[in-house]
Each structure stands twice: as structure tokens, then as C-alpha cells.
Structure 1
Amino acid sequence: MHVLHGSRPPHATHVTLLTEGTYPHSHGGVSVWCDQIVRGMPDIAFEVVAVTGTGREPVVWDIPAQVSRIRSVPMWGPAPDGRPPTGRQERRLVGAYERFVTALLDPCAARDGLLSPFLRGDRAVSVLTSVWNRPGLMVREARPTLHDALTATTLLEHALRPLATAPPRSGVAHAVSGGIAVLPGLTALERHGVPLLLTEHGVYLRERYLGYRTAPYRWPVKAVVLGFFRLLAEETYRKAALITPGNRYNRLWEEQGGADPGLIRTVYNGVDPAAFPPAGPEPDVPTLSWAGRVDPIKDLETLIRAFALVRERLPAARLRLFGGTPRGGEAYRQRCEALAAGLGHADAVTFEGRVDDITDAYAAGNVVMLSSISEGFPFTLIEAMSCGRATVSTDVGGVREAVGDSGLVVPPRDPAAMAAAALELLGDQERRRRMGEAARLRVIEQFTLRQTVDTFRSIYLELSRARTAVHPAESAPAAASGTKRRHAGRHRAAFADTSTAPGPSAAFAPTAVGAPPPGPGAAPGPVVRSVAG
């Protein structure tokens, strides 16, 4: 689905946002970040290439005029146009695919419309079966079956569908997460020399590893798909002109994946302190509040177990949970509700859904909780801090960087530690007040929206200038692909040498685009929901 919106301002710097399961078709932290970036730069011309589930997802954000076009790339919609390869084309693609699959399983041609039809054919399954039964490969010990081969090949075909969409031809390609959304950006770099900017809020590869621990596939299938994500992450880190993680924790994964440390710059999320003013009086009843999407990655089960321990000491305590349940997450919410009931606290744990004003969610608690097992630099945390509420958070991603000394941080998946921290704050009103004031001051000094927007505007302009220096006649016919590859490396060098913008002091299984629809073309077996975004 293509949505045309505003017109591109003449001579404006052009940026194509590459998203997966987030903006502009879904709510959540990454979508909030995208909306902030776009609205904060009316002088930049934006397009969006959004990897979605079926392609029928509605646009749920008000789109500003500087966004000229939105292109949806459905992972589980109709297959891309194309024809099965034959003759020399088939032999060449079979050889390339065999090398590709070997790389997926052994750590030690979408341009012509051939790849997707090839991956839907028998030859691709035969290649995979042959490769993973080679002597010496660990996956061989799991005795892969024909069903495994069909499942893995189907998942790969869907994962590679973004290669069939037209890549950006100019400006800057900005992937707002790693993974599948990056594929059009890598293509744009290869064909047209468009510099690739990567922003990682969470670590996409890490979250795939977490998600596939419980995915309903046998090990041979997981080996292929996780191998694909590993190679994609490594290629993205190598090719990006600049990587802007949302916290320093992500740098460790990026450097381990092959990123040049000199091309990594931490840029924290930011909020407008005026939009998140001090929350005002606390509730009279001791209350813990939480805000976010109801998702396994948020680990509400640990929060509910911790609350049960809190209530042993404070029988009047309440736990209020604010946020929507995304499509496919209904079973998880029901599991959490059943856990609260089973522990005897159904009367005190309330799922209150989305609220019109998120500040109401933070004001509802004496203490704001964050229980996630994976995060980037969570908006809900810095929003609650801006509202002057004391917080208890799990020590994941950039949480400790955000909180500093202005809140309590506990290990993830530890109900006893979380309960002890919550009781500590609930029992000391003066300490809550001091922490809340320190938290708001920390946001004002270090994590404002203006700092974030100004930093990315500088990055966009610098990358655009670097590309213009390499391609002075940007509107001229494309040069040979070999020249493009040489120029791509010069973008990285030029940006690393000349950048001066300082940084301030989140389809597929499992993916943010959800499970495939039932019926013909769906992947064999169920697909796990996203842990990203």
C-alpha cells in the first residue's frame, strides 16, 4: 500500500525512514520516537518505507506535511511479482543461495524478480536440505526433516521480501531498527550510493535470540533463521555510514558485530519537559503504576509476582497497568490476569488499557514501575522521571544510564528484589519526593526532545553533504554499481572525518509485524510475536 501525503519541498534534505512493525501503523516507543523526529524537522523532506504484516494495517498517526509518501511492504501479504528463474539464471541463483545458506549454518537477485519465486520452489528446499546435512555441521545432529526445510525456506522467503521493494535513490536512508527494515537501505547503498544511518533502540539481534528461545520451531529451523539475522546484523554494522544507538549498552553488541567504534555515536531519546510536567499529589492509597504495551518482553508476570509480595506487607496496595494489548498479545494478557487471580490479587491488579493522556498513568502511582527483560532507552521511564515520580526499574539496556541516582534499579526477573525496592520507596514519602525532583532535573539537563532532534538534523545534513561531495550531480543517471560501492566507503570516511554534531550529555517470526494470517502462503506452524519496539 502506498499513501501519498505532502509534497517534497524543493531543495530540502531528503530522508527515507525504514521501519518494521512500528511507525506509522502502530503505537509504541519506537513509533513515538519516529513521530518526534519527523514533527521536529519541518525543513526535512521525509518518506517512510514500513515493513508491515499484511499490508492492510491502517495508518494510526497523524502524518505531518513533510512526509510525502508512505510505502507499506507486507511480510505476509501477496507474494512479490516475479517469475521462477530458468537455465543459467537458475544455476547462478542456486549457487548463490547455496553459499548464502552455508554462511547461515556455518559460522567458521531480488532486483530481477527472481528471488521470491525461487524460494517458493522445490530447488531452494533441496539446497537447504543438502547443506545442513553436510558432515561437520552441528545442525546435522538434530536430524533435520523435510518439514523443517519447508518451514525454514518459507520463513526466509518472507524475511527477504523487502528486497523486492524499490529502494531509496537519493538523500539518506535511516533505519530506525536493525533487522528486516534495513534491507531496502542496504540495497539503496549498493545500487545508488545512498548513505545508510542505523538507529538501534533495542538490540534487534539480541531480541531475536530471546524470542526464539520459546519459538515453536525445531533447532534446524532456528539455526537457519537466527543465522540469517546474525549475518544481516553484521552486514548492517559494516555498511552503515553511522550507527546511533539509543544507549551505551547497545554499543557492546554493535562492536561485537563488526561495527567500527569510530562510527558509533550514542544519541539518547528525549522528551519535552513541558509536556510532562510534575504530576502533582500522590494517590492516598499506596499504588504502583506501570505504562507500556502488554507484551512478554515487558515481563508483567514478574511485576505481578512482586506486587503479591508487596501486598503481604501492605494489604491496601494497588497495581494499575496502563497500555494497550497489541494484536496477537491477547493470550499473554489473559495469562497475566490469571496469574493475578491465582495469587489472590485480582481485586487489586487492574488492566486499564490505553489512556488519552499518558501523564495520567504516571500520576496514578506513588511509584512508577518498569519490569522489562529487554529495553533500549525507554520513553515510559524518562516520561515518568519528567513527571517527578520515583521509579523502580529493571537493569536492562539503557535503564541505568537513564536513571542514574534518581531511581532504584533491580535485576530483571527477580520478584523479591523488585518488591523490596517498591516497599522501600512506598515506606518513605520524603525519599520519593527527593528522587522525583532529582529525576525531573536529570531529564531537563540531559534528555530533552530538542537535544535529540537537533542532533539528528545535524546528522542528516552532514550525511547529505557527504553524499553530495561524492555525487555532485545527484540527479544524473546512476553510475556503475562498482563505482557505487567505492563511493559508499567514502561516505563513511567523509562522515567520520567531518562530523561535528554532538550527541546529548525497536512481520517476521518473532517480529513486530505479528503473525502471518491463516490460509495459503502462511508459514508452517505458528509464528511468535515481536519482542521489539
Structure 2
Amino acid sequence: MPSGGRHVTMLTEGTYPHVHGGVSTWCDQLVRGMPEVDFNIVALTGTGREPVTWELPPNVYRHWAFPLWGPVPGRRWPLRGRERRRLIEVYERFLLSVLDPSAGCDFGEGLDELAEFARAGRLSAAMRSESVLRTLTCIWTMPHLEISASQPTVHDALTATDLLEHALRPLAARIPDDSIAHAVSAGLATLPALAAQRFEGVPFLLTEHGIYLRERYLGYRVAAQRAPVKALMLGFYRELNSLGYRRADLITPCNQYNRRWEERGGAPSGRIRTVYNGVDPHAFPQAGPEPDVPTISWAGRIDPIKDLETLIRAYAIVRAELPAVRLRLFGGVPAGGEAYRTVLEKLAADLGVMDGIAWEGRVSDVARAYASGSVVLLSSISEGFPFSLIEAMSCGRATVSTDVGGVREAVGDTGLVVPPREPAVMAEATLGLLRDEARRAELGRLARQRVIDRFTLRRSVDGFRRIYRELAGLPEHPDSRVVTGALSDPWQQGHTAERALG
């Protein structure tokens, strides 16, 4: 347990410590970078049975996998009488706040009232009742709402209610009232923080990597649900996103691109502080000589948001010009992602380039993945401030990346940036670099220097150490050269120790 005073509850969704990837890497860096801080990890997962894939350091005093799916949690007996009527009234106002702006209902107030039911263990079971289903159906059929023209069905109402019930489950996740609630994404991870802030006055810190709401819109474009279901769920995520922005005590985007989204979403500019992701240049050293065969390398998670179809199509165009070029893909397939890997393999076979692609899987020495390429590519359709990019830059490799999120901020003038989902443009940029050894070398040199100057791990962790102290009500640590062993404040000890290690 914590030794006293404020500590940190880190709230994650589908990432650390159950999944590898950029956000998980960032979480692990933060936890390990501050051994003097006690961390409680509340991880929103699918079933709660997902294995822990990261070795948790000693300062993680508790880890709780909170399942979004599985059996209905809480008390099973139905609400009755006055309690039932109150829930229906609250739920009706909550739905109107999402679906009908003209109704004048406040989303935040509705969410707070639903949180009371969730914390009492009554919400999930109650949302399975016929009266709750009927409430949604009645609102959907109001003539002045566009949704009514889509003729919502009972099946739509069942689907939407089920999705919403699962999405609201994190309201029941209680966190210590003497902690700082640090949600490392917007959306569902903010629900326990919003409730703890409302009921116990817990400070709420929000860090956003990819833009959560934008990624929900991208995901629902290809979702199987009908329009009424999508309208409800996207409306819910939109209102939740905006509420998180407005209520957070401090928002720490990892780039200026995210900051602009957050300001448009209602975040007060005075409560936003950009803290860039960082890497350790010693862990990602200068890569050295390029491979003998011209090679494109990529590292990441085999996931649709990484848009590896564009990467493979670009590779096919490059290979038509330079038949010797090879593509090496380093990265694991997340649980449930096997179908996407099959899609990619079929695409490569259809394009006749399967024999030039090496599927390397996840590797422990990621620096070797970047070193194995002449050029490193990133083809994502959504990113925050991607680790794979600044890691490759630290290794001194020239990069071609899609213009999403904070990519342009990371690269500056040390790499090439192209529009997303345009394989021909990506191929042209890649060919230009593969044909110009001197330019590759110069861009690689500049890229590594940019990381050293701006995006080191020490700079990033120090930024959050100061923020934690601020939210905990502790005075800012003076920049002194006091010997670590002479310090009585554990937060101060870690700060000075890290500076000494440099």
C-alpha cells in the first residue's frame, strides 16, 4: 500500500498491462521512471481474464483488471417503486442529453446520477429491464428526431441498450480517495475518474495519445450496427469526451495536434499542458550500417488503425521499380486480430509480393527492427505521438510517415511526411530515399539529433513528476544537486536520482 499522501491510480482501456503497444510502452515508462511513486493500475479489459503481458515493477502496489463484458455485475434483484421510477427519470434525461440537444438536459448531471446507481451495484441489472428498453424506444420515435426516420427496431433498441450498459460499467470502479486519478485515454477510462472527482474530490488528470473520439468514428464507419445504434453510441462518446475535457483538472496531450482537438471539444486552454512522449537514446542507439539488400522496415501492432494495406500496396509499387527491395514487418497480432493478418496476407498474395515480405512477429530488441531497414515506414490512419517513429529517429534511420496526429511535430524536417491512405505517394517518397544514400544518411543524422534535443524519456518523465506533485498539493521540487540519500521526500529522491543518472 502507499506509504502516505497522494498516490496515483492509472486508468487504462485495452492497453497496459495486458497488451503491448505504444500507449502501454508509455505507461510502463512512466511507472518505472518514478519508483518513488506508488501506482494503482485499474485496467478496463474485455473479460477480466486477459493475461498480464508486462512485468509490473514493485511500485505498482495493486492491479485490478475491470471487465467490460462477461456476467452482469452487482446486485441482481430488480429496482422497485420509488427507486425504479427515479432510475427511469434519470435514464430518460441522460438519453435526451445524448440524442436531443433541444431538450436542455445535462449529460454530466445524468452521468453523475447513473454513477450513484452503479456504485450501489444496481445499474447494470436495472438496464436489462423492459422499462429501460421502452424508454429508449419512446425517445427514438419522437417525430422531431432524425433517428425516427431510420425506423429503429426492437433489435436496435436491444443492441444499443446492451452496448450502453457495458460502456457504463466502469462507473462502478471505485478508486482510492487519497489518490490522483490519471486516465491515460479519453472515453471509458475517464468514467471512474469522473465519479471519484465528483463524489470524493479526487484530482483528475487526463492524458490523450490518439484522439479517442476520432477513433470511435473511424471504428463505427465499418461497424455492423444500424444507424440508430451508431447515432446513440457516437452521441454518448461525443458527450463523454467533451465532459472529460471540461472537468479534468489538467489535460496533458502528447502533441499540439491533440491540444487543438481538445480545445475544440470544450477543454479550457489554461488547463492543457503538452508533454511529448520520449525515448532513451541509449536504448535506441545509432543503428550503424544499413542492410546489404535495400529494405523497408515497419514496427508496431498488426491492427487496422495502422493501415498496413496501404503499406503493402506502397511496397508493391516500390518493388516494381526496385525488384530487390524487401519489406520486414515487426509486430505482434493482438487478441482477436488474426482476421486482419489474414486480410493482409491475401492482399500481398494478390499483389504478387508475398515472397518479399517477412512477418517477423514481436521482438524484444526493437532497435534491431529499425536497424534492419534502409528506410522505416509508418502508415497509420490515426496516431498520437508514435513511439515507433521517434524510436526509429533515435536509431538514425530516415523515415516516411503518414501525416496524422503528432507525426509532423515529431519529424520536423528530418523525414518525409505523406497523406494517409495514398500508397502511390508513399511509394514515391520511399523510392526517392532508397535511391539517394547520402540523403538517407543526412536525414537519419538530423532525426537522431532532434530526438536528443527534444524527445528524451527523462524530459517526459520529469514533466509528469512535476504534474503529479502539483496535483498532490506538494511544492515544486527545487532544482538542486542534493545527494539522494539525504532527502526525506520520496518524490524528491526519485527526481534527483533520475537527474544524476542523466
Q: TM-score, normalised by structure 1?
A: 0.85
Runs of 5+ unmatched residues, structure 2:
103-116, 476-502
Runs of 5+ unmatched residues, structure 1:
1-6, 468-533
Match of 2:492 in 1: none
The one-letter amino acid paired with 1:393 is S
Match of 1:247 in 2: 255
Given that 1:168 and 1:184 are in contact with CA atoms closer than 8 Å, whether structure 2 keeps it comes out as no
Q: CA deviation at 1:111?
A: 2.3
Given that 1:80 and 1:164 are in contact with CA atoms closer than 8 Å, whether structure 2 keeps it comes out as no
Measure the CA separation in 1 of the matches of 2:203 and 2:345: 47
The structure 1 residue matched to 2:27, chosen from 20, 27, 34, is 34
Measure the CA separation in 2 of the matches of 1:466 and 1:251: 26
Q: CA deviation at 1:85?
A: 1.3
Match of 1:137 in 2: 145
Mapping 1:311-460, distance limit 5 Å? 311-460=319-468
Moved more, 350-359 or 391-400: 350-359
Higher helix share: 2
The structure 1 residue matched to 2:277, chosen from 269, 279, 302, is 269
Q: CA deviation at 1:100?
A: 0.7
Given that 1:51 and 1:74 are in contact with CA atoms closer than 8 Å, whether structure 2 keeps it comes out as yes
User: Which gives a bigger RCO, structure 1 or 2 (Cα 8 Å, sep 6+)?
Assistant: 1
Match of 1:102 in 2: 96
Describe the SS at the equivalent of 2:10. strand
Mapping 1:153-168, distance limit 5 Å? 153-168=161-176
The one-letter amino acid paired with 1:329 is G
Given that 2:5 and 2:178 are in contact with CA atoms closer than 8 Å, whether structure 1 keeps it comes out as no
The one-letter amino acid paired with 1:180 is L
The one-letter amino acid paired with 1:69 is R
Deviations 1:21-60 (A, max 9, x none): 1111111111100000000001111101110110101111
Q: How many residues align?
A: 460
The structure 1 residue matched to 2:120, chosen from 112, 129, 132, is 112
The one-letter amino acid paired with 2:407 is V
- The 1:438–1:12 alpha-carbon spacing in structure 2 relative to 1, beyond 3 Å, is farther
Report sequence identity in percent.
64
Are 2:51 and 1:51 aligned?
no
Are 2:170 and 1:170 aligned?
no
Describe the SS at the equivalent of 1:347. helix
The one-letter amino acid paired with 1:58 is P
Given that 1:276 and 1:359 are in contact with CA atoms closer than 8 Å, whether structure 2 keeps it comes out as yes
Describe the SS at the equivalent of 1:344. coil
Match of 1:92 in 2: 86
Match of 2:227 in 1: 219
Describe the SS at the equivalent of 2:354. coil
Measure the CA separation in 2 of the matches of 1:20 and 1:96: 27
Measure the CA separation in 2 of the matches of 1:35 and 1:373: 25
Q: What is the alpha-carbon root mean square deviation over aligned residues?
A: 1.1
Moved more, 151-160 or 104-113: 104-113
Are 2:288 and 1:280 aligned?
yes
Describe the SS at the equivalent of 1:307. helix
Deviations 1:100-119 (A, max 9, x none): 11111124421222211111
The one-letter amino acid paired with 2:361 is G
Deviations 1:427-466 (A, max 9, x none): 0001000000000000000000000100000000001107
Given that 1:389 and 1:432 are in contact with CA atoms closer than 8 Å, whether structure 2 keeps it comes out as yes
The one-letter amino acid paired with 1:339 is L
Q: CA deviation at 1:351?
A: 1.4
Given that 2:9 and 2:175 are in contact with CA atoms closer than 8 Å, whether structure 1 keeps it comes out as no
Are 2:276 and 1:260 aligned?
no
Measure the CA separation in 2 of the matches of 1:107 and 1:292: 40
Moved more, 163-172 or 85-94: 163-172
Given that 1:237 and 1:243 are in contact with CA atoms closer than 8 Å, whether structure 2 keeps it comes out as yes
Given that 1:167 and 1:187 are in contact with CA atoms closer than 8 Å, whether structure 2 keeps it comes out as no
The structure 2 residue matched to 1:73, chosen from 66, 74, 78, is 66
The one-letter amino acid paired with 2:433 is L
Given that 1:12 and 1:44 are in contact with CA atoms closer than 8 Å, whether structure 2 keeps it comes out as no
Measure the CA separation in 2 of the matches of 1:190 and 1:13: 17
Q: CA deviation at 1:12?
A: 5.3
Match of 2:236 in 1: 228
Q: TM-score, normalised by structure 2?
A: 0.90
Match of 1:464 in 2: 472
Q: CA deviation at 1:11?
A: 3.0
